[in-house]
Structure 1
Amino acid sequence: MSKFTLIDLTDKLRECAGEAEGGDLDGDVLDTPFIELGYDSLALLQVTGVLKRELGVDLADDAVVEAETPRLLLDMINECLSVAA
């Protein structure tokens, strides 16, 4: 995989943590805090666990907590993918 996109991330969020009540992943959510989208750090850890297993993306737990928005998390994921390539 060359680049992990926002669509990929929102699909994984829905797959791993379900559709958050009150959160809307459709549209421009790149800079919307995950907490406003209805996802907490536990949900993000579930997603990153799946990404590690499926894509070999190994993110530190504390880095995931620091990624407060989809944009920040995508940057981390794509950085790992580019290093692995």
Structure 2
Amino acid sequence: MSTPTFALADLTRILLEGAGADDGVDLDGDILDRDFEDLGYESLALLETAGRIEREYGIALDDDVFAENRTPRALIAAVNGRLSASAAA
């Protein structure tokens, strides 16, 4: 069985489903290295996003996952790391 992966498309879908997007923010653009706050996502929206990721992928994320991973690129890497660790367990 292969390990599922979490990609930018997954993150943008979950962000849009949970919190929508601010006017003027193009989630289809080059957002990998933009801070979530710059993209218009505050703590409540990010908590919702974390919960959705946990439910959809069957993993647990640390409470400070967004504090430590302030950009989509960093969060995607953290989620994929957790998915790999979960698959290896």
Structure 1 portions without partners, runs of 5+: none
Q: Which residue of 2 aligns with 1:45?
A: 47
Deviations 1:44-74, CA, capped at 9 Å, x for gaps:
1101101111211211121222211001111
Q: TM-score scaled by structure 2?
A: 0.85
Deviations 1:18-65, CA, capped at 9 Å, x for gaps:
122332211221001111111112211101101111211211121222
My pick for the range that moved more, 38-47 or 70-79, is 38-47
Work out whether 1:26 is the aligned partner of 2:18.
no
Alignment equivalent of 1:11, drawn from 7, 10, 13: 13
Distance apart, 1:14 and its partner CA: 0.2
Give the number of the structure whose residues are more often helix, by fraction: 1
Question: Size of the alignment, in residue pairs?
Answer: 85
Q: TM-score scaled by structure 1?
A: 0.89
Structure 2 portions without partners, runs of 5+: none
Identity percentage of aligned residues: 49
Compared with structure 1, are the counterparts of its residues 14 and 58 closer, same or farther at alpha carbon in structure 2 (3 Å cutoff)?
A: same
Q: Contact between 1:22 and 1:38, CA under 8 Å: does it hold in 2?
A: no
